[in-house]
Amino acid sequence: MKDSIKVTFLGPLASFSHQAAIDSFGKSDSVTLFASISFAEAFSAIQNNNADYAVIPIENSTNGSVVQTLDLLADRQGLNKDVTVCADYFLTVQHCLIIGAKPSNDNKEDSFKSINKLYTHPQAWGQCENFLGQHFRGIERQDVSSTSKAVEIVAKETSGQEAAIASKLAAEFHGALVLQEHIEDRSDNTTRFLILRNRTSERSSNIDSFLKTAAAVGDIERQKKKRKSLISFTIEHSAPGALADALSVFKKHGLNLTSINSRPSLIRPWQYIFFVECEHVPTANDETTVHLAGNIPHITPTYRKEGFADVARWISLDPDNETFIYRRFNQLGARNLLYLQSKLLAIEKQLDELDKNDALSDDMTLKDSARTWEILMDLYDDGNTDAKARMDLIVKLRAKLKEYHETMLLQSEILRLKRPHQRALDAYRHWFQKPYPVLGGQAKTSLDDASDLTVLNMSPETDYLSTFLRLHWPARPELSRDGLQNIGVFNESSISRAVALITIFVAAIVLIGPITSLYYVTNDAAKIGLVTGFTALFALSVGLMTNARRAEIFGATAA
Protein backbone atom coordinates (compact mmCIF):
# COMPACT_ATOMS: atom_id res chain seq x y z
CA MET A 1 0.00 0.00 0.00
CA LYS A 2 1.21 3.50 -0.82
CA ASP A 3 2.17 5.82 2.07
CA SER A 4 -0.49 8.40 2.83
CA ILE A 5 0.43 11.97 1.96
CA LYS A 6 1.08 14.24 4.92
CA VAL A 7 -0.54 17.67 4.98
CA THR A 8 0.17 20.19 7.72
CA PHE A 9 -1.75 23.32 8.75
CA LEU A 10 -1.84 25.88 11.58
CA GLY A 11 -3.34 24.16 14.62
CA PRO A 12 -4.90 23.28 16.94
CA LEU A 13 -7.65 21.35 15.11
CA ALA A 14 -10.65 23.32 13.86
CA SER A 15 -8.68 26.41 12.79
CA PHE A 16 -9.56 28.01 9.46
CA SER A 17 -6.31 26.57 8.09
CA HIS A 18 -7.57 23.11 9.14
CA GLN A 19 -10.82 23.72 7.25
CA ALA A 20 -8.87 24.84 4.17
CA ALA A 21 -6.71 21.67 4.38
CA ILE A 22 -9.78 19.41 4.62
CA ASP A 23 -11.49 21.22 1.73
CA SER A 24 -8.38 20.93 -0.44
CA PHE A 25 -7.26 17.37 0.27
CA GLY A 26 -10.38 15.69 1.73
CA LYS A 27 -10.50 13.24 4.61
CA SER A 28 -9.44 9.71 3.64
CA ASP A 29 -6.91 6.98 4.47
CA SER A 30 -4.61 8.29 1.79
CA VAL A 31 -4.27 11.69 3.54
CA THR A 32 -2.84 12.37 7.00
CA LEU A 33 -3.60 15.88 8.23
CA PHE A 34 -1.54 17.14 11.15
CA ALA A 35 -1.36 20.44 13.03
CA SER A 36 1.73 22.66 13.33
CA ILE A 37 1.91 25.13 16.20
CA SER A 38 3.01 28.03 13.95
CA PHE A 39 3.43 28.98 10.30
CA ALA A 40 7.22 28.77 10.81
CA GLU A 41 6.87 25.18 12.02
CA ALA A 42 4.74 24.30 8.96
CA PHE A 43 7.41 25.82 6.65
CA SER A 44 10.18 23.82 8.32
CA ALA A 45 8.07 20.62 8.10
CA ILE A 46 8.06 21.16 4.32
CA GLN A 47 11.75 22.07 4.16
CA ASN A 48 12.70 18.94 6.13
CA ASN A 49 10.27 16.69 4.21
CA ASN A 50 8.28 15.94 7.37
CA ALA A 51 5.17 16.99 5.46
CA ASP A 52 4.33 16.73 1.76
CA TYR A 53 2.13 19.82 1.68
CA ALA A 54 1.35 22.77 3.97
CA VAL A 55 -1.77 24.91 3.79
CA ILE A 56 -0.86 28.48 4.79
CA PRO A 57 -2.96 31.70 4.66
CA ILE A 58 -1.45 34.44 2.50
CA GLU A 59 -4.10 37.17 2.30
CA ASN A 60 -7.59 38.09 3.34
CA SER A 61 -10.06 40.04 1.21
CA THR A 62 -10.92 42.39 4.11
CA ASN A 63 -7.71 42.65 6.11
CA GLY A 64 -4.99 42.24 3.45
CA SER A 65 -1.73 40.31 3.55
CA VAL A 66 -0.64 37.85 6.23
CA VAL A 67 2.76 39.41 6.91
CA GLN A 68 4.07 36.40 8.86
CA THR A 69 3.65 34.28 5.72
CA LEU A 70 5.29 36.91 3.49
CA ASP A 71 8.24 37.04 5.89
CA LEU A 72 8.60 33.26 5.79
CA LEU A 73 8.45 33.33 1.98
CA ALA A 74 11.11 36.10 1.97
CA ASP A 75 13.31 33.56 3.78
CA ARG A 76 16.00 36.11 4.66
CA GLN A 77 18.07 33.56 6.57
CA GLY A 78 17.89 30.87 3.91
CA LEU A 79 16.15 28.40 6.23
CA ASN A 80 13.40 27.35 3.79
CA LYS A 81 15.19 27.45 0.48
CA ASP A 82 13.36 24.44 -0.99
CA VAL A 83 9.85 25.58 -0.07
CA THR A 84 7.76 26.46 -3.12
CA VAL A 85 4.12 27.32 -3.87
CA CYS A 86 2.14 24.82 -5.96
CA ALA A 87 -1.53 25.84 -5.65
CA ASP A 88 -3.92 28.12 -3.82
CA TYR A 89 -7.34 27.83 -2.24
CA PHE A 90 -9.99 30.40 -1.30
CA LEU A 91 -12.00 29.86 1.92
CA THR A 92 -15.01 31.93 2.90
CA VAL A 93 -14.30 32.99 6.48
CA GLN A 94 -17.21 33.54 8.82
CA HIS A 95 -16.34 34.59 12.36
CA CYS A 96 -18.31 34.03 15.57
CA LEU A 97 -18.03 35.47 19.07
CA ILE A 98 -17.49 32.45 21.32
CA ILE A 99 -17.56 32.02 25.10
CA GLY A 100 -16.81 29.08 27.40
CA ALA A 101 -20.25 28.43 28.92
CA LYS A 102 -23.89 29.42 28.62
CA PRO A 103 -24.39 32.96 30.06
CA SER A 104 -26.61 33.32 33.18
CA ASN A 105 -28.69 35.93 31.44
CA ASP A 106 -30.35 35.50 28.05
CA ASN A 107 -29.88 39.11 27.03
CA LYS A 108 -27.08 39.19 24.45
CA GLU A 109 -26.18 42.84 25.11
CA ASP A 110 -25.70 42.05 28.83
CA SER A 111 -23.48 39.07 27.93
CA PHE A 112 -21.38 41.35 25.70
CA LYS A 113 -21.00 43.78 28.64
CA SER A 114 -19.61 41.14 30.99
CA ILE A 115 -16.75 40.33 28.51
CA ASN A 116 -13.50 42.08 29.49
CA LYS A 117 -10.95 40.21 27.37
CA LEU A 118 -10.97 38.98 23.75
CA TYR A 119 -8.73 36.38 22.14
CA THR A 120 -8.01 35.62 18.48
CA HIS A 121 -5.38 35.31 15.76
CA PRO A 122 -3.98 38.79 14.81
CA GLN A 123 -5.42 38.42 11.27
CA ALA A 124 -8.98 38.13 12.58
CA TRP A 125 -9.23 41.48 14.42
CA GLY A 126 -9.17 43.46 11.20
CA GLN A 127 -11.89 41.28 9.69
CA CYS A 128 -14.36 42.12 12.49
CA GLU A 129 -13.51 45.78 13.19
CA ASN A 130 -17.10 47.10 12.75
CA PHE A 131 -18.56 44.63 15.26
CA LEU A 132 -15.69 45.13 17.71
CA GLY A 133 -15.91 48.92 17.41
CA GLN A 134 -19.64 48.80 18.10
CA HIS A 135 -19.59 46.47 21.13
CA PHE A 136 -16.06 46.12 22.46
CA ARG A 137 -14.37 49.49 22.23
CA GLY A 138 -11.50 49.67 24.75
CA ILE A 139 -11.72 45.97 25.69
CA GLU A 140 -8.39 44.18 26.08
CA ARG A 141 -7.35 42.17 23.00
CA GLN A 142 -4.98 39.22 23.31
CA ASP A 143 -3.23 37.88 20.16
CA VAL A 144 -2.94 34.09 20.11
CA SER A 145 -1.42 31.64 17.62
CA SER A 146 -4.74 30.79 15.89
CA THR A 147 -8.49 31.25 16.15
CA SER A 148 -8.92 27.66 17.38
CA LYS A 149 -6.27 28.29 20.08
CA ALA A 150 -8.41 31.24 21.19
CA VAL A 151 -11.44 28.94 21.59
CA GLU A 152 -9.32 26.34 23.39
CA ILE A 153 -8.44 29.07 25.96
CA VAL A 154 -11.93 30.49 26.51
CA ALA A 155 -13.55 27.04 26.59
CA LYS A 156 -11.88 26.54 30.00
CA GLU A 157 -13.30 29.82 31.31
CA THR A 158 -16.89 29.67 32.55
CA SER A 159 -17.38 33.16 34.03
CA GLY A 160 -18.38 34.61 30.65
CA GLN A 161 -15.73 37.34 30.99
CA GLU A 162 -13.50 36.10 28.17
CA ALA A 163 -14.47 35.51 24.54
CA ALA A 164 -12.81 34.22 21.37
CA ILE A 165 -13.25 35.15 17.72
CA ALA A 166 -13.22 31.99 15.62
CA SER A 167 -15.32 29.67 13.46
CA LYS A 168 -18.53 27.87 14.44
CA LEU A 169 -16.65 24.64 13.80
CA ALA A 170 -14.00 25.59 16.38
CA ALA A 171 -16.74 26.31 18.97
CA GLU A 172 -18.31 22.89 18.33
CA PHE A 173 -14.94 21.15 18.40
CA HIS A 174 -13.95 22.66 21.78
CA GLY A 175 -17.44 22.40 23.29
CA ALA A 176 -17.80 26.18 23.57
CA LEU A 177 -20.81 28.37 22.94
CA VAL A 178 -21.46 30.72 20.01
CA LEU A 179 -22.78 34.02 21.37
CA GLN A 180 -23.00 35.79 18.00
CA GLU A 181 -22.56 34.49 14.44
CA HIS A 182 -21.38 36.43 11.36
CA ILE A 183 -19.43 39.13 13.14
CA GLU A 184 -17.15 39.62 10.08
CA ASP A 185 -17.37 43.09 8.53
CA ARG A 186 -18.17 41.79 5.04
CA SER A 187 -20.24 38.81 3.98
CA ASP A 188 -17.71 38.12 1.20
CA ASN A 189 -14.83 37.84 3.72
CA THR A 190 -12.45 35.35 2.12
CA THR A 191 -8.95 34.12 2.98
CA ARG A 192 -6.64 32.82 0.30
CA PHE A 193 -4.37 29.94 1.31
CA LEU A 194 -1.20 28.84 -0.47
CA ILE A 195 -0.36 25.17 -0.76
CA LEU A 196 3.36 24.66 -0.26
CA ARG A 197 5.60 21.75 -1.12
CA ASN A 198 9.31 20.93 -1.16
CA ARG A 199 10.63 21.51 -4.70
CA THR A 200 13.08 18.58 -4.35
CA SER A 201 10.39 16.06 -3.36
CA GLU A 202 9.22 13.52 -5.96
CA ARG A 203 6.21 12.49 -3.86
CA SER A 204 4.55 15.88 -3.94
CA SER A 205 5.43 16.84 -7.51
CA ASN A 206 1.93 16.24 -8.89
CA ILE A 207 -0.42 18.30 -6.69
CA ASP A 208 -3.41 17.81 -9.02
CA SER A 209 -3.54 14.10 -8.22
CA PHE A 210 -4.04 14.88 -4.52
CA LEU A 211 -6.43 17.81 -4.57
CA LYS A 212 -9.93 16.79 -3.59
CA THR A 213 -11.92 19.02 -5.90
CA ALA A 214 -11.24 21.29 -8.78
CA ALA A 215 -12.39 24.07 -6.48
CA ALA A 216 -9.19 23.65 -4.54
CA VAL A 217 -7.29 25.15 -7.44
CA GLY A 218 -10.08 27.48 -8.45
CA ASP A 219 -12.37 27.10 -11.42
CA ILE A 220 -11.09 24.14 -13.42
CA GLU A 221 -11.61 25.80 -16.77
CA ARG A 222 -9.81 28.90 -15.54
CA GLN A 223 -6.96 26.79 -14.26
CA LYS A 224 -6.57 25.09 -17.61
CA LYS A 225 -6.31 28.39 -19.33
CA LYS A 226 -4.28 30.41 -16.85
CA ARG A 227 -1.17 29.80 -14.90
CA LYS A 228 -0.31 31.72 -11.76
CA SER A 229 3.21 32.54 -10.60
CA LEU A 230 4.56 34.16 -7.46
CA ILE A 231 7.87 35.91 -8.03
CA SER A 232 9.93 37.66 -5.37
CA PHE A 233 12.71 40.14 -6.08
CA THR A 234 14.49 43.21 -4.80
CA ILE A 235 15.45 46.19 -6.91
CA GLU A 236 18.26 48.70 -6.90
CA HIS A 237 16.14 51.13 -4.90
CA SER A 238 18.35 54.12 -5.60
CA ALA A 239 17.84 53.81 -9.38
CA PRO A 240 15.00 56.20 -10.38
CA GLY A 241 11.97 54.36 -11.79
CA ALA A 242 13.47 50.92 -11.02
CA LEU A 243 10.19 49.49 -9.72
CA ALA A 244 8.16 50.93 -12.62
CA ASP A 245 10.69 49.46 -15.10
CA ALA A 246 10.54 46.08 -13.35
CA LEU A 247 6.75 45.98 -13.48
CA SER A 248 6.58 47.07 -17.13
CA VAL A 249 8.32 43.79 -18.05
CA PHE A 250 5.30 41.83 -16.79
CA LYS A 251 3.08 43.78 -19.19
CA LYS A 252 5.49 43.22 -22.06
CA HIS A 253 5.22 39.45 -21.53
CA GLY A 254 1.40 39.50 -21.38
CA LEU A 255 1.36 38.76 -17.65
CA ASN A 256 -1.58 40.09 -15.70
CA LEU A 257 -0.40 41.34 -12.29
CA THR A 258 -2.87 40.11 -9.68
CA SER A 259 -1.12 41.28 -6.52
CA ILE A 260 1.95 43.11 -5.32
CA ASN A 261 3.27 43.08 -1.77
CA SER A 262 6.44 44.23 -0.13
CA ARG A 263 8.32 43.54 3.08
CA PRO A 264 11.47 45.25 4.43
CA SER A 265 14.58 43.49 3.14
CA LEU A 266 16.30 43.75 6.58
CA ILE A 267 19.57 44.18 4.69
CA ARG A 268 19.38 47.98 4.83
CA PRO A 269 16.59 50.36 5.85
CA TRP A 270 14.06 51.29 3.17
CA GLN A 271 15.02 48.48 0.83
CA TYR A 272 12.22 46.01 0.12
CA ILE A 273 11.55 42.50 -1.05
CA PHE A 274 8.68 42.61 -3.54
CA PHE A 275 6.24 39.74 -4.08
CA VAL A 276 4.46 39.90 -7.38
CA GLU A 277 1.78 37.47 -8.48
CA CYS A 278 0.84 37.25 -12.12
CA GLU A 279 -1.42 35.17 -14.32
CA HIS A 280 -0.90 34.19 -17.90
CA VAL A 281 -2.18 31.75 -20.47
CA PRO A 282 0.47 29.07 -20.99
CA THR A 283 1.61 28.42 -24.56
CA ALA A 284 2.92 25.12 -25.95
CA ASN A 285 6.50 26.12 -25.26
CA ASP A 286 5.85 28.06 -22.11
CA GLU A 287 8.93 29.49 -20.54
CA THR A 288 7.65 33.00 -19.87
CA THR A 289 8.19 33.14 -16.15
CA VAL A 290 11.56 31.39 -16.37
CA HIS A 291 12.92 34.14 -18.61
CA LEU A 292 11.12 36.92 -16.84
CA ALA A 293 13.60 37.60 -14.07
CA GLY A 294 16.44 38.04 -16.55
CA ASN A 295 14.44 40.67 -18.40
CA ILE A 296 13.58 42.89 -15.46
CA PRO A 297 15.97 45.85 -15.37
CA HIS A 298 17.76 46.46 -12.03
CA ILE A 299 16.22 43.26 -10.70
CA THR A 300 17.93 41.14 -8.12
CA PRO A 301 15.96 37.93 -7.71
CA THR A 302 15.88 37.35 -3.97
CA TYR A 303 17.41 33.97 -3.91
CA ARG A 304 20.10 33.77 -1.28
CA LYS A 305 23.65 33.24 -2.50
CA GLU A 306 24.81 29.97 -1.05
CA GLY A 307 28.11 28.49 0.07
CA PHE A 308 31.20 29.67 -1.79
CA ALA A 309 29.25 32.38 -3.67
CA ASP A 310 28.01 33.75 -0.33
CA VAL A 311 31.49 33.73 1.27
CA ALA A 312 32.99 35.42 -1.81
CA ARG A 313 30.25 38.09 -1.63
CA TRP A 314 31.03 38.72 2.05
CA ILE A 315 34.80 38.82 1.60
CA SER A 316 34.52 41.41 -1.17
CA LEU A 317 32.11 43.64 0.82
CA ASP A 318 34.80 45.26 2.99
CA PRO A 319 35.95 48.52 1.35
CA ASP A 320 39.41 48.09 2.97
CA ASN A 321 39.74 44.47 1.86
CA GLU A 322 40.72 43.44 5.38
CA THR A 323 38.53 40.36 4.93
CA PHE A 324 40.64 38.82 2.15
CA ILE A 325 41.73 36.20 4.70
CA TYR A 326 43.01 32.83 3.47
CA ARG A 327 45.03 29.87 4.74
CA ARG A 328 48.73 30.25 3.91
CA PHE A 329 49.44 26.50 4.26
CA ASN A 330 52.88 27.07 5.80
CA GLN A 331 53.47 23.36 6.43
CA LEU A 332 52.38 22.32 2.95
CA GLY A 333 54.52 25.07 1.42
CA ALA A 334 57.54 23.89 3.41
CA ARG A 335 56.85 20.28 2.46
CA ASN A 336 56.45 21.10 -1.24
CA LEU A 337 59.84 22.84 -1.21
CA LEU A 338 61.37 19.84 0.57
CA TYR A 339 60.07 17.46 -2.13
CA LEU A 340 61.38 19.69 -4.91
CA GLN A 341 64.70 19.97 -3.08
CA SER A 342 64.92 16.15 -2.77
CA LYS A 343 64.22 15.75 -6.47
CA LEU A 344 67.08 18.15 -7.23
CA LEU A 345 69.37 16.31 -4.80
CA ALA A 346 68.67 13.09 -6.76
CA ILE A 347 69.46 14.85 -10.09
CA GLU A 348 72.62 16.28 -8.55
CA LYS A 349 73.72 12.79 -7.53
CA GLN A 350 73.00 11.38 -11.01
CA LEU A 351 75.04 14.18 -12.57
CA ASP A 352 77.93 13.43 -10.18
CA GLU A 353 77.84 9.79 -11.28
CA LEU A 354 77.85 10.76 -14.95
CA ASP A 355 80.82 13.05 -14.27
CA LYS A 356 82.66 10.20 -12.54
CA ASN A 357 81.81 7.82 -15.39
CA ASP A 358 83.07 10.27 -18.04
CA ALA A 359 86.26 10.99 -16.06
CA LEU A 360 87.12 7.29 -15.78
CA SER A 361 86.19 6.47 -19.39
CA ASP A 362 88.84 5.44 -21.97
CA ASP A 363 86.85 7.30 -24.62
CA MET A 364 88.78 10.55 -25.08
CA THR A 365 85.92 12.24 -26.98
CA LEU A 366 83.55 11.53 -24.14
CA LYS A 367 86.12 12.93 -21.70
CA ASP A 368 86.34 16.07 -23.84
CA SER A 369 82.57 16.40 -23.88
CA ALA A 370 82.75 17.13 -20.13
CA ARG A 371 84.60 20.36 -21.01
CA THR A 372 83.24 21.29 -24.42
CA TRP A 373 79.54 21.80 -25.07
CA GLU A 374 79.90 21.47 -28.90
CA ILE A 375 81.53 18.02 -28.50
CA LEU A 376 78.74 16.92 -26.19
CA MET A 377 76.19 18.09 -28.80
CA ASP A 378 78.04 16.27 -31.62
CA LEU A 379 78.09 13.04 -29.61
CA TYR A 380 74.43 13.48 -28.79
CA ASP A 381 73.58 14.05 -32.47
CA ASP A 382 75.58 10.90 -33.36
CA GLY A 383 73.41 8.90 -30.95
CA ASN A 384 76.04 8.33 -28.25
CA THR A 385 74.21 6.81 -25.26
CA ASP A 386 76.36 8.51 -22.58
CA ALA A 387 75.87 11.91 -24.19
CA LYS A 388 72.14 11.23 -24.51
CA ALA A 389 71.91 10.29 -20.81
CA ARG A 390 73.67 13.52 -19.86
CA MET A 391 71.51 15.69 -22.15
CA ASP A 392 68.29 14.13 -20.83
CA LEU A 393 69.44 14.83 -17.29
CA ILE A 394 70.33 18.45 -18.15
CA VAL A 395 66.84 19.04 -19.60
CA LYS A 396 65.27 17.52 -16.49
CA LEU A 397 67.49 19.62 -14.23
CA ARG A 398 66.56 22.81 -16.08
CA ALA A 399 62.81 22.23 -15.62
CA LYS A 400 63.04 21.13 -11.97
CA LEU A 401 65.40 23.90 -10.94
CA LYS A 402 63.12 26.48 -12.55
CA GLU A 403 60.14 25.07 -10.65
CA TYR A 404 62.14 25.02 -7.39
CA HIS A 405 63.37 28.60 -7.69
CA GLU A 406 59.94 29.92 -8.70
CA THR A 407 58.30 28.13 -5.77
CA MET A 408 60.99 29.46 -3.43
CA LEU A 409 60.45 33.06 -4.54
CA LEU A 410 56.66 32.71 -4.29
CA GLN A 411 57.03 31.20 -0.83
CA SER A 412 59.26 34.03 0.31
CA GLU A 413 56.58 36.52 -0.94
CA ILE A 414 53.93 34.61 0.99
CA LEU A 415 56.05 34.66 4.15
CA ARG A 416 56.06 38.44 3.91
CA LEU A 417 52.23 38.64 3.94
CA LYS A 418 50.76 39.87 7.21
CA ARG A 419 48.50 38.09 9.69
CA PRO A 420 44.85 39.27 9.61
CA HIS A 421 43.67 41.83 12.15
CA GLN A 422 42.03 40.12 15.11
CA ARG A 423 39.01 42.43 14.70
CA ALA A 424 38.49 41.44 11.03
CA LEU A 425 39.10 37.77 11.83
CA ASP A 426 36.56 37.81 14.68
CA ALA A 427 33.92 39.39 12.43
CA TYR A 428 34.64 36.86 9.64
CA ARG A 429 34.52 33.90 12.03
CA HIS A 430 31.28 35.11 13.58
CA TRP A 431 29.62 35.55 10.18
CA PHE A 432 31.03 32.24 8.89
CA GLN A 433 29.82 30.14 11.83
CA LYS A 434 26.39 31.58 12.74
CA PRO A 435 23.88 30.01 12.74
CA TYR A 436 25.75 27.12 11.03
CA PRO A 437 29.03 27.02 9.02
CA VAL A 438 28.41 28.52 5.59
CA LEU A 439 30.80 26.03 3.92
CA GLY A 440 30.77 22.27 4.30
CA GLY A 441 33.50 19.57 4.21
CA GLN A 442 37.08 20.47 5.14
CA ALA A 443 36.42 24.12 4.21
CA LYS A 444 34.43 24.34 7.46
CA THR A 445 37.72 24.42 9.37
CA SER A 446 39.49 26.97 7.18
CA LEU A 447 39.42 29.77 9.78
CA ASP A 448 40.26 27.62 12.80
CA ASP A 449 44.06 28.02 12.95
CA ALA A 450 44.75 31.76 13.25
CA SER A 451 48.54 31.23 13.05
CA ASP A 452 48.19 29.86 9.50
CA LEU A 453 45.99 32.65 8.14
CA THR A 454 47.07 35.56 6.03
CA VAL A 455 45.40 38.71 4.76
CA LEU A 456 46.08 39.78 1.18
CA ASN A 457 45.63 43.54 1.39
CA MET A 458 48.44 45.88 2.37
CA SER A 459 48.13 46.07 6.13
CA PRO A 460 46.60 49.36 7.33
CA GLU A 461 48.54 51.52 9.82
CA THR A 462 49.45 49.56 12.93
CA ASP A 463 50.38 52.42 15.26
CA TYR A 464 48.71 52.65 18.68
CA LEU A 465 46.62 55.72 17.80
CA SER A 466 45.06 54.02 14.70
CA THR A 467 44.41 50.86 16.69
CA PHE A 468 42.76 52.87 19.47
CA LEU A 469 40.58 54.79 17.00
CA ARG A 470 39.54 51.57 15.20
CA LEU A 471 38.30 50.15 18.48
CA HIS A 472 36.22 53.22 19.31
CA TRP A 473 35.18 54.50 15.86
CA PRO A 474 31.39 54.83 15.41
CA ALA A 475 30.58 51.98 13.04
CA ARG A 476 27.65 51.48 10.66
CA PRO A 477 25.77 48.39 11.91
CA GLU A 478 25.30 45.54 9.44
CA LEU A 479 23.16 42.47 10.12
CA SER A 480 25.08 39.22 10.54
CA ARG A 481 24.09 36.03 8.68
CA ASP A 482 22.05 34.68 11.58
CA GLY A 483 20.06 37.91 11.51
CA LEU A 484 20.61 38.30 15.26
CA GLN A 485 23.69 40.43 15.64
CA ASN A 486 25.01 43.61 14.17
CA ILE A 487 28.56 43.74 12.85
CA GLY A 488 30.20 47.19 12.93
CA VAL A 489 31.41 48.33 9.51
CA PHE A 490 33.55 51.44 8.94
CA ASN A 491 35.85 52.79 6.30
CA GLU A 492 39.60 52.65 7.00
CA SER A 493 40.10 55.98 5.18
CA SER A 494 38.13 57.78 7.97
CA ILE A 495 40.68 56.45 10.50
CA SER A 496 43.64 57.53 8.33
CA ARG A 497 42.19 61.04 7.99
CA ALA A 498 41.58 61.36 11.76
CA VAL A 499 45.12 60.08 12.54
CA ALA A 500 46.64 62.57 10.07
CA LEU A 501 44.77 65.51 11.67
CA ILE A 502 45.68 64.52 15.24
CA THR A 503 49.33 63.95 14.24
CA ILE A 504 49.63 67.39 12.59
CA PHE A 505 48.09 69.02 15.66
CA VAL A 506 50.41 67.26 18.15
CA ALA A 507 53.50 67.83 15.94
CA ALA A 508 52.70 71.56 15.90
CA ILE A 509 52.43 71.63 19.71
CA VAL A 510 55.67 69.72 20.40
CA LEU A 511 57.63 71.89 17.97
CA ILE A 512 56.12 75.33 18.55
CA GLY A 513 55.58 74.73 22.32
CA PRO A 514 59.26 74.69 23.41
CA ILE A 515 60.22 77.65 21.18
CA THR A 516 57.52 79.94 22.59
CA SER A 517 57.88 78.77 26.20
CA LEU A 518 61.71 79.14 26.18
CA TYR A 519 61.22 82.74 25.03
CA TYR A 520 59.25 83.56 28.18
CA VAL A 521 61.03 81.36 30.79
CA THR A 522 64.23 82.89 32.22
CA ASN A 523 65.08 80.43 35.00
CA ASP A 524 67.79 77.93 33.80
CA ALA A 525 66.44 74.97 35.78
CA ALA A 526 62.94 75.56 34.39
CA LYS A 527 64.44 75.79 30.86
CA ILE A 528 66.14 72.38 31.29
CA GLY A 529 62.89 70.94 32.68
CA LEU A 530 60.92 72.30 29.69
CA VAL A 531 63.40 70.93 27.12
CA THR A 532 63.37 67.51 28.85
CA GLY A 533 59.56 67.49 29.02
CA PHE A 534 59.03 68.44 25.36
CA THR A 535 61.71 65.96 24.19
CA ALA A 536 60.01 63.15 26.13
CA LEU A 537 56.62 64.25 24.73
CA PHE A 538 58.06 64.25 21.19
CA ALA A 539 59.51 60.73 21.58
CA LEU A 540 56.23 59.50 23.06
CA SER A 541 54.06 60.97 20.30
CA VAL A 542 56.33 59.55 17.55
CA GLY A 543 56.16 56.15 19.28
CA LEU A 544 52.37 56.18 19.71
CA MET A 545 51.11 57.96 16.63
CA THR A 546 53.40 56.68 13.88
CA ASN A 547 54.60 53.25 12.88
CA ALA A 548 58.27 54.36 13.18
CA ARG A 549 60.72 51.67 14.24
CA ARG A 550 62.85 51.96 17.37
CA ALA A 551 65.92 53.23 15.48
CA GLU A 552 63.79 55.88 13.75
CA ILE A 553 62.29 57.08 17.05
CA PHE A 554 65.78 57.23 18.52
CA GLY A 555 67.15 59.16 15.54
CA ALA A 556 64.25 61.63 15.41
CA THR A 557 64.42 62.30 19.17
CA ALA A 558 68.21 62.78 19.08
CA ALA A 559 67.87 65.25 16.19
Ligand X SMILES: O=C(O)C(=O)C[C@]1(C(=O)O)C=C[C@@H](O)C=C1
Shortest Å distance, C-beta 230 to ligand X? 17
Choice between 152 and 162, CB closer to ligand X: 152
The answer to whether 454 contacts ligand X (rule: CB under 6 A) is no
Choose the binding region for ligand X from 120-128, 250-258, 396-404, 521-529 (rule: CB under 6 A): 120-128
Does residue 246 contact residue 259 with C-beta atoms inside 8 Å? no
48-77 footprint of ligand X as x/- string (CB under 6 A): ---------x--x-----x-----------
Does residue 229 contact residue 286 with C-beta atoms inside 8 Å? no
Choose the binding region for ligand X from 141-149, 243-251, 412-420, 428-436 (rule: CB under 6 A): 141-149
The answer to whether 265 contacts ligand X (rule: CB under 6 A) is no
Nearest to 170 by CA among 9, 15, 24, 27: 15
Shortest Å distance, C-beta 489 to ligand X? 37
Phi and psi angles of residue 341, each rounded to the nearest 5 degrees, phi first: -60, -40
Distances (CA, A) of 529 to 447, 465, 507, 518: 53, 27, 19, 11
Name the amino acid, one letter, at 179: L
Q: Applying CB under 6 A, which of residues 7, 12, 15, 162 lies at the interface with ligand X?
A: 15
The answer to whether 124 contacts ligand X (rule: CB under 6 A) is yes
Which residues does 49 contact at the CB level (< 8 Å), separation at least 6?
198, 201
Does residue 131 carry a catalytic annotation?
A: no
Does residue 191 carry a catalytic annotation?
A: yes
CA angle 317, 465, 554 (to 5 degrees): 130
Choose the binding region for ligand X from 121-129, 449-457, 520-528, 539-547 (rule: CB under 6 A): 121-129
Name the amino acid, one letter, at 351: L
Calpha distance 221→19 (Å, rounded): 24
Q: Applying CB under 6 A, which of residues 44, 65, 111, 123 lies at the interface with ligand X?
A: 123
90-119 footprint of ligand X as x/- string (CB under 6 A): ---x--------------------------
CA angle 366, 368, 374 (to 5 degrees): 95
Out of 191, 234, 454, 546, pick the active-site residue.
Answer: 191
Out of 16, 39, 43, 193, pick the active-site residue.
Answer: 193
Calpha distance 34→32 (Å, rounded): 6
Site for ligand X in 172-231 (CB under 6 A): 191
Shortest Å distance, C-beta 81 to ligand X? 23
Strand (E) or helix (H) holding 144: none
Nearest to 39 by CA among 63, 67, 78: 67
Shortest Å distance, C-beta 76 to ligand X? 20
Beta-bridged to residue 56, according to DSSP, are 194
Give the footprint of ligand X on this chain (CB under 6 A).
Answer: 10, 15-17, 57, 60, 66, 93, 121, 123-124, 146-148, 191
Active site positions, annotated: 191, 193
